[in-house]
């Protein structure tokens, strides 16, 4: 029987006819699947894959193996294979787990995607997860989702594997990383949490700080190192603990979580990173919406509030795509100088001693050009170098004092509630 006829029968409203077609497809899988896949040359639209998708879904496990073999022989494109590997059901759970264990990062991601979709709880899935985290590189696509999805089930088994004397050190490391990815540091036992805290203390004195790049977009604040303690109260930060710069940057850039607030209602909670003292200044990074707010009034109010607690505060905001370039300096609760540019720059306050004014620019012609008397020429990327510290220039030559702090934007949540890989 021709493939076209079988596919037509498969879509029939006649149940008996459709079941007979499905049985025939399964019987002839070894010949039909290669022919179906061979018909996809040049196909680039999901809609054009639908007849093949229906056939593969009904054939099940044999089709999975044949598709995988054809993909590895480059007989189907990566896009086609990725789309077709999404269609199999619970009969292929073990095959998805085997695919997730593939050492190739891209291939493995397709396996984890299937495990997540099917919500597969299996020993093979657990082992694939452990192996992925044990490699010590970037984890495959959807591996972290799978760790979170299965954490309640996998947690006890991973903790047992972590303490199994017969397991290799590599496997025990993978189990630990999978635990943290699924349930945060709270998923670890007291022994592992204490070991991590000791490791942080050992690494802090020898770390060369690397801060987030402001390329394309970014924001941060700067406060004097001598009075930085006030920033925790000013920004309503809680549960601070020592942290390496590497871990602090990663945490501050990670997504927040939803947790119960003081009134019992759900709220977003994020993490803020306060750097070690860098050439006399401490910088603050974290979730903009939670620490500052989206409106202009929020920015002004925040930098003024922080300056009231710390004596001085500087605020920097850059968005190259949107064209925003903002910096402010506040002292003792009041902004004394600010620059904001989206199209035309606007200045407020008296120029600071280091500023080059537009009227002093060599290209400024007073006969033809006009400029307000307080208009300068320096945006945030240059201003931060004069005012405090340029994050992009922080490195081996930067004077470092003390250690960084990681703090939460709400109380009572705990650092262990944040899932993710360990970077310390």
Q: What is the DSSP string of 183-195?
A: H-GGGS-HHHHHH
Query: Structural domain of residue 265, as residue ranges?
Result: 209-417
8 and 71 fall within a common domain:
yes
User: What is the predicted pLDDT for the residue at 324?
Assistant: 86
pTM score, whole prediction: 0.72
**∠ Cα 186 189 195 (to 5°):** 100
Whether residue 128 is found in the same domain as residue 221: no
Q: Do 356 and 282 have their domain in common?
A: yes
Nearest residue to 377 (alpha-carbon basis) of 406, 410, 354, 400: 354
Distance set, CA 221 to CA 48, 217, 230, 252, 316 (Å): 52, 14, 13, 13, 6
Say whether both 78 and 172 belong to one domain. Answer: yes
319 and 221 fall within a common domain: yes
Q: Which of 148, 166, 195 is the last residue of a domain?
A: 195
Q: At what angle do helices 3-10 and 29-38 cross, to 10 degrees?
A: 100
Do 175 and 269 lie in one domain? The reply is no
Residue 176 lies in a domain: yes
Same domain, 215 and 86: no
User: DSSP letter at 376?
Assistant: B
What burial letters (b/e) apply to 259-287, b meaning 16+ CB within 10 Å?
beeeeeeebebbbbbbbbbbeebbbbbbb
- Whether residue 114 lies inside any domain: the answer is yes
CB atoms within 10 A of CB 4: 9
Q: End-to-end CA distance of the chain: give it in Å, rounded.
A: 62
Q: Is 98 part of a structural domain of the chain?
A: yes
The pLDDT profile of the chain, 424 residues, written as one tens digit per residue, is 466 666 666 666 677 776 676 677 767 778 788 888 888 888 888 888 888 888 888 888 999 999 999 999 999 999 999 999 999 999 999 999 999 999 998 899 999 999 999 999 999 999 999 999 998 778 899 999 999 999 999 999 999 999 999 999 999 999 999 998 888 877 888 898 888 888 888 888 888 888 987 766 689 999 999 999 999 999 999 999 999 999 899 899 888 888 876 666 788 999 999 999 999 999 999 999 999 987 888 999 999 999 999 999 999 999 877 778 899 999 999 999 998 887 677 888 888 888 877 666 666 666 666 666 666 667 888 899 999 999 999 999 999 999 999 999 999 888 877 766 555 5
Number of domains in the chain: 2
Examine the domain organization and report whether 80 and 102 are in the same domain.
yes
Q: Sign of the C-alpha dihedral, residues 303, 306, 312, 317?
A: negative
Q: What is the DSSP letter of 410?
A: S
**278 shares its domain with 139:** no
Nearest 5°: CA angle at 203, between 418 and 420? Answer: 15
- In this structure, the number of other CB atoms found within 10 A of the CB of residue 20 comes to 16
d(CA 178, CA 112): 13
- 165 and 266 inside one domain: no
User: To 10 degrees, what angle do helices 151-162 and 123-134 make?
Assistant: 60
**Among 151, 173, 195, which residue terminates a domain?**
195
> Of 130, 162, 195, which closes a domain?
195
Indicate if 229 and 190 belong to the same structural domain. Answer: no
Does 422 fall in a domain? Answer: no
416 DSSP assignment: G
Question: Is 146 in the same domain as 224?
Answer: no
């Amino acid at each position: 029987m021709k493939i076209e006829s079988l596919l037509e029968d498969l879509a029939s409203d006649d149940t008996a006819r459709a079941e007979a077609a499905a049985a025939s497809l399964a019987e002839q899988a070894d010949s039909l699947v290669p022919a179906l896949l061979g018909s996809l040359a040049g196909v680039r639209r999901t809609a054009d894959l639908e007849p093949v998708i229906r056939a593969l879904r009904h054939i099940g496990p044999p089709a999975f193996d044949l598709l995988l073999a054809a993909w590895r022989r480059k007989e189907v494109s990566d896009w086609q294979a990725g789309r077709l590997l999404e269609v199999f059901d619970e009969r292929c759970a073990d095959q998805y787990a085997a695919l997730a264990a593939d050492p190739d990062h891209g291939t493995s991601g397709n396996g984890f995607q299937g495990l997540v979709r099917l919500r597969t709880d299996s020993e093979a899935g657990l082992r694939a997860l452990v192996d992925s985290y044990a490699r010590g590189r970037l984890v495959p696509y959807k591996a972290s989702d799978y760790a979170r999805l299965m954490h309640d089930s996998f947690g006890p088994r991973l903790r047992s594997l972590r303490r199994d004397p017969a397991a290799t050190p590599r496997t025990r490391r993978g189990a630990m990383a999978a635990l943290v990815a699924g349930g945060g540091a709270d998923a670890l036992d007291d022994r592992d949490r204490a070991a991590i805290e000791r490791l942080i203390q050992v690494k802090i004195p020898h770390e060369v700080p690397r801060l987030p790049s402001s390329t394309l977009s970014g924001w941060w604040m700067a406060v004097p190192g001598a009075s930085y303690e006030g920033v925790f109260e000013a920004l309503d930060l809680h549960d601070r603990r020592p942290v390496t710069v590497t871990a602090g940057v990663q945490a501050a850039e990670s997504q927040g979580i939803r947790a119960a607030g003081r009134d019992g209602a759900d709220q977003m909670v994020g993490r803020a990173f306060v750097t070690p003292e860098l050439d006399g200044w401490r910088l603050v990074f974290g979730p903009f919406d939670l620490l500052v707010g989206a409106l202009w009034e929020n920015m002004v109010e925040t930098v003024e509030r922080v300056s009231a607690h710390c004596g001085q505060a500087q605020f920097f905001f850059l968005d190259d795509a949107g064209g925003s370039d903002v910096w402010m300096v506040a002292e003792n609760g009041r902004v004394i100088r600010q620059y904001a540019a989206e199209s035309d720059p606007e200045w407020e306050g008296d120029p600071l001693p280091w500023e080059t004014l537009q009227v002093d620019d060599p290209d400024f012609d007073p006969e033809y050009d006009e400029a307000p008397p307080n208009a300068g020429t320096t945006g945030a990327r240059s201003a931060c170098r004069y005012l405090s510290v340029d994050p992009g220039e922080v490195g081996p030559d930067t004077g470092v004092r003390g250690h960084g702090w990681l703090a939460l934007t709400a109380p009572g949540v705990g650092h262990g509630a944040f899932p993710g890989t360990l970077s310390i």
